[in-house]
């Protein structure tokens, strides 16, 4: 089983739609000593750029959303259940509230919870994963079992029963609950990578030089984990956003606090479907999809940056074909540009 | 054999952890909602049921924590999950037993279809990368980013409200009496088609992506090149050499992501008001029915653990290396 894990993890990373943003900058410099060209390489990846642009857009809305919203999202008006118009871009609800304003104001809640949960979960994941991988032995066994237990237990029901029993559920509380339940994947991947790094020559050399454990971990091992940590972070943010929206959608959490999930919750409970009020739930869903996609794209960028095989075989397949190389046949083609990039 | 024993040991630990989490959650929560609910239902709850609830939620302040823990396990192992508040006086175990066949039928079948079809499509795309098939990737990325329940909303709008092809909610025609008649079964299939289709559409992209990436990795392996060099037919190389090896991580990721999938699909039941576990979880949350919530969590966890054991077994059969290494 151990043989396959690294491959499994690569595959899974991509498959899980999660993981992404902000970290782009971090990911761009896995080897801190190498600056210019490598950073550019990451930024030259079209998937990563698209993802970062979309993410930046949502970050901007999260900051300025409440100021630029044309109406108070909770204010009622006499325009009941209006389809989109110039006055109400995304139409209105059964109480005459402006859906566009609700989405704008709600962006902040989504982004804040996503990032707080992402940072917390990544923190826990790094501590547990790197410790497990570096310490080895019984400590490793215990921590791995702990991470695996959290991986196997279905997260969403767990989040629901914890959040459902809290007397009051604000955004930050939800973020903490999500972080507590969602750190295990990152920890697992980090452990596997630390395990392989630990035996490399440069770490052995540092140890032989008498460097302290703390210094080996922070100066030798962590910089080499940057890309994995970044993609884990991105994934957790995506997972946290989806969890928050799902929780809000089923009515857990503070319904007075706007986010995309509460918009959907109201649409569902006020029978928007049966009334044919598509404008009520379509925009929120598209926003979620766009944000999730941007995170996935950034992660693809990170993955292709870390794994040159995916880069040359996946991205350039079309150009290879033009040059008469059949990408299907199983070897990693040597492409001149790619070579220069990596130098 | 050692491999299976090890895995089994792990699942026992996970089960223990899930029960323990369930034990501690109500005890570390601030406030005491359950006591209030018991007080509200005073007189309606029998003494037996009340003492079971007290044990489940740690209201016996005079016993030690350890004693509470032992009592708790005693109840769980006897299948006593307390009494539901919403469906009073039905025991939680009975409520769940009534809901579970629906969930397994819907989510189970849909997940298996999605896994099989997704893996097939994924191996095709991975094998023929650089052709039109690659343009399916962004589409599947989009679907994997969308929350399941939102797709369900859209599906209902299009196929139920606008086109009127499928019913928007429920699991069978309410005018029928549940029997094993063809009429009833066809009604169940008719009502289940749209939810199942939505689950397949929303979860399939994950399998496509996973398989595609594995195919990309595997088809650069030497043995695939050798197989091609030997002049074997495209089909033989694809299925006999590449896909056969690429599917291994797929199976183990199936096991690992089951919990994730189950969580997402449960929400689907809420949107369709489909009378499975997810729908009951939703009503339990809305009604603050804590015994039912916790019972459902335990049952879902056990189901996921069981599915994991099956996946491990399949993996062991598929990959002889796991059996040798132990």
pLDDT score of B56 more than 80: no
From CA A213, how far away is CA A207, in angstroms rounded?
8
Q: At what angle do helices B47-57 and B65-77 cross, to 10 degrees?
A: 120
B14 with A153: Cβ contact below 8 A:
yes
> Per CATH, which fold does B93-323 belong to?
MetI-like fold (1.10.3720)
Q: Average pLDDT over chain B, rounded to whole?
A: 78
Measure in Å the smallest separation between the Cα of A8 and chain B Cα atoms.
5
A46 pLDDT exceeds 70? yes
User: Between helices B277-286 and A155-165, what is the axis angle to 10°?
Assistant: 20
- Alpha-carbon distance of A222 to A229, in angstroms, equals 9
A-chain residue closest to B167, CA distance: A274
B308: nearest Cα among A6, A5, A154, A14 = A154
- pLDDT value, residue A334: 54
pLDDT recorded at residue A14: 40
CB pairs under 8 A between A and B: 233
- DSSP label of B12: H
Question: Which residues 174-233 of chain A have a CB within 8 Å of chain B?
Answer: none
3 state SS of B83: strand
Q: Is B81 helix (H, G, I), strand (E, B) or coil?
A: coil
Q: What is the pLDDT of residue A123?
A: 92
Of residues B157 and B34, more confidently modeled: B157
Smallest CA-to-CA distance from B188 within B173, B166, B167, B207 is with: B173
A120 has a pLDDT exceeding 90: yes
More confident position, B66 or A6: B66
Q: Where are the domains of chain B?
A: 2-77, 93-323
> For B25, which residue in chain A has the nearest alpha carbon?
A162
pLDDT tens digit sequence for A289-307: 888 888 888 888 887 777 6
Q: Determine the pLDDT at residue A35.
A: 45
A260 lies within 8 A of chain B by CB:
no
> Is A282 in CB contact (< 8 Å) with chain B?
yes
The answer to whether B150 and A281 are in contact (CB under 8 A) is yes
Give residue-wise pLDDT tens across range A136-194: 788 888 888 888 888 888 888 888 888 877 776 677 888 888 898 888 888 888 888 88
What integer is the mean pLDDT of B40-51? 68
pLDDT of residue A26: 39
pLDDT recorded at residue B133: 61
pLDDT at A38 over 70: no
B309's CB contacts (< 8 A; 6+ apart) are: B7, B8, B11
Q: Mean pLDDT score of chain A, rounded to an integer? A: 75
Interface membership of A48 toward B (CB under 8 Å): no
Chain B residues with CB under 8 Å of A277 CB are none
Among B131, B134, B220, B293, which would you mutate to test the A interface (most chain A Cβ atoms within 10 Å of its Cβ)?
Answer: B220
Instruction: Name the token pair of A46.
Output: 């079209």
Residue A5 has pLDDT above 60, yes or no: no
A-chain residues within 8 Å CB-CB of B270? 250
Q: How many residues does chain A have?
A: 343
The 10s digit of each residue's pLDDT in B225-258 is: 888 888 888 888 888 888 888 888 888 777 777 7
Distances (CA, A) of A208 to A163, A199, A218, B109: 49, 13, 17, 56
- What per-residue confidence (pLDDT) applies to A122? 92
Comparison of pLDDT for B255 and A218, the residue scoring more: A218
Residue A329 scores a pLDDT above 90: no
> Which of A14, A165, A264 is opposite residue B26, by nearest beta carbon?
A165
The string of pLDDT tens digits covering residues B196-220 is: 888 888 888 888 888 887 887 787 7
Taking the whole predicted model, whether its pTM rises above 0.80 is answered as: no
SS (H, E, C) chain A: CHHHHHHHHHHHHHHCCCCCCCHHHHHCCCCCCCCHHHHHHHHHCHHHHHHHHHHHHHHHHHHHHHHHCCCCCCCCCCCCCCCCCCCCCCCECCCCCEHHHHHHHHHHHHHHHHHHHHHHHHHHHHHHHHHHHHHCHHHHHHHHHHHHHHHHCCHHHHHHHHHHHCCCCCHHHHHHHHHHHHCHHHHHHHHHHHHHHHCCHHHHHHHHCCCCHHHHHHHHHHHHHHHHHHHHHHHHHHHHHHHHHHHHHCCCCCCCCCCHHHHHHHHHHCCCCCCCCHHHHHHHHHHHHHHHHHHHHHHHHHHHHHCHHHHHHHHCHHHHHHCCCCCCCCCCCCCHHHHHHHC
Is pLDDT at A236 greater than 50 in this prediction?
Answer: yes
Nearest one of B48, B121, B122, B123 to B78, comparing CA atoms: B48
Residue of A156, A276, A312 to mutate when probing chain B, most B C-beta within 10 A: A156
How far is the first Cα of chain B from the last one, in angstroms, to the nearest whole number? 7
Half-sphere exposure of B133 (CA within 13 A, CB side): 18
Does A87 contact B at CB distance below 8 Å? no
Averaged pLDDT for residues A61-73 = 82
Contacts of A145 in chain B (CB under 8 A): 10, 13
Over residues B112-166, the pLDDT tens digits come to: 898 899 888 888 887 776 666 666 667 777 777 777 788 888 888 888 777 778 7
Res. B286 pLDDT band, cuts 50 70 90: confident
Residue A248 in contact with partner chain B when CB distance is under 8 A: no
Nearest by CB to residue B267, choosing from A149, A162, A246, is A246
Give dist(CA B283, CA B291) in Å, integer: 12
A314·B216 Cβ contact <8 A: yes
């Amino acid at each position: 089983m151990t043989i396959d894990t690294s491959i499994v993890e690569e595959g899974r990373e991509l498959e899980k739609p999660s993981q992404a943003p902000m970290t782009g900058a971090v990911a761009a410099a896995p080897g801190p000593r190498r600056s210019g060209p490598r950073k550019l390489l990451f930024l030259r990846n079209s998937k990563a750029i698209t993802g970062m642009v979309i993410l930046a857009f949502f970050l901007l809305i999260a900051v300025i959303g409440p100021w630029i919203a044309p109406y108070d999202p909770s204010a009622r008006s006499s325009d009941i259940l209006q389809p989109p118009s110039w006055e109400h871009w995304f139409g209105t609800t059964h109480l005459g509230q402006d859906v566009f304003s609700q989405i704008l104001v709600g962006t902040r809640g989504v982004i804040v919870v996503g990032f707080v949960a992402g940072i917390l979960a990544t923190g826990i994941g790094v501590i547990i994963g790197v410790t497990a991988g570096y310490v080895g032995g019984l400590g490793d066994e215990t921590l791995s079992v702990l991470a695996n237990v959290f991986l196997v237990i279905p997260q969403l029901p767990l989040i629901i029963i914890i959040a459902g029993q809290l007397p009051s559920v604000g955004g930050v509380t939800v973020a903490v609950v999500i972080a507590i339940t969602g750190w295990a994947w990152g920890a697992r991947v980090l452990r596997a990578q630390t395990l392989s790094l630990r035996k490399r020559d440069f770490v052995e050399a540092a140890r032989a030089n008498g460097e302290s454990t703390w210094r080996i971990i922070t100066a030798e091992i962590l910089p080499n984990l940057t890309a994995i940590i970044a993609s884990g972070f991105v994934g957790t943010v995506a997972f946290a956003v989806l969890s928050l929206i799902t929780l809000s959608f089923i009515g857990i959490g503070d319904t007075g606090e706007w986010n995309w999930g509460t918009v959907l919750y109201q649409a569902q409970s006020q029978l928007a479907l049966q009334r044919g009020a598509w404008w009520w739930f379509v925009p929120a869903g598209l926003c979620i999809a766009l944000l999730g996609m941007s995170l996935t794209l950034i992660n693809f960028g990170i993955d292709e940056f870390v794994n040159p095989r995916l880069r040359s075989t996946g991205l350039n397949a079309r150009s290879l074909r033009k040059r008469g190389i059949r990408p299907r046949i199983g070897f990693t083609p040597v492409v001149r540009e790619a070579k220069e990039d990596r130098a | 054999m050692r491999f299976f024993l090890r895995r089994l040991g792990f699942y026992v630990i996970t089960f223990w952890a899930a029960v323990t989490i369930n034990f501690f959650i109500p005890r570390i929560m601030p406030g005491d909602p359950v006591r209030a609910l018991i007080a509200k239902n005073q007189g309606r709850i029998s003494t037996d049921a009340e003492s079971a609830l007290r044990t489940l939620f740690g209201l016996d302040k005079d016993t030690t924590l350890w004693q509470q823990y032992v009592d708790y396990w005693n109840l769980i192992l006897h299948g006593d999950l307390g009494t539901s508040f919403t469906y009073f006086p039905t025991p939680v175990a009975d409520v769940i037993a009534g809901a579970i066949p629906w969930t397994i039928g819907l989510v189970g079948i849909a997940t298996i279809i999605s896994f099989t079809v997704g893996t097939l499509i994924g191996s095709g795309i991975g094998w023929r990368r650089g052709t039109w098939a690659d343009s399916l990737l962004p589409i599947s990325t989009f679907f994997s980013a969308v929350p399941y329940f939102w797709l369900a909303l859209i599906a209902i709008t299009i196929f139920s409200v606008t086109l009127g092809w499928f019913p928007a909610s429920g699991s069978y025609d309410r005018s029928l009496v549940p029997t094993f008649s063809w009429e009833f079964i066809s009604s169940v299939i008719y009502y289940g088609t749209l939810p199942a289709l939505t689950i397949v559409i929303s979860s399939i992209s994950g399998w496509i992506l996973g398989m595609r990436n594995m195919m990309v990795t595997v088809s650069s392996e030497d043995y695939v090149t050798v197989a091609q060099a030997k002049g074997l037919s495209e089909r033989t190389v694809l299925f006999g050499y590449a896909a056969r090896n690429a599917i291994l991580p797929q199976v183990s990721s199936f096991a690992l992501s089951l919990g994730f999938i189950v969580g997402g699909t449960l929400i689907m039941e809420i949107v369709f008001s489909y009378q499975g576990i997810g729908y009951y979880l939703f009503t339990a949350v809305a009604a603050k029915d804590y015994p039912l919530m916790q019972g459902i969590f335990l049952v879902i966890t056990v189901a996921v653990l069981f599915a994991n054991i099956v996946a491990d077994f399949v993996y062991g059969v598929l990959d002889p290396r796991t059996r040798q290494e132990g």
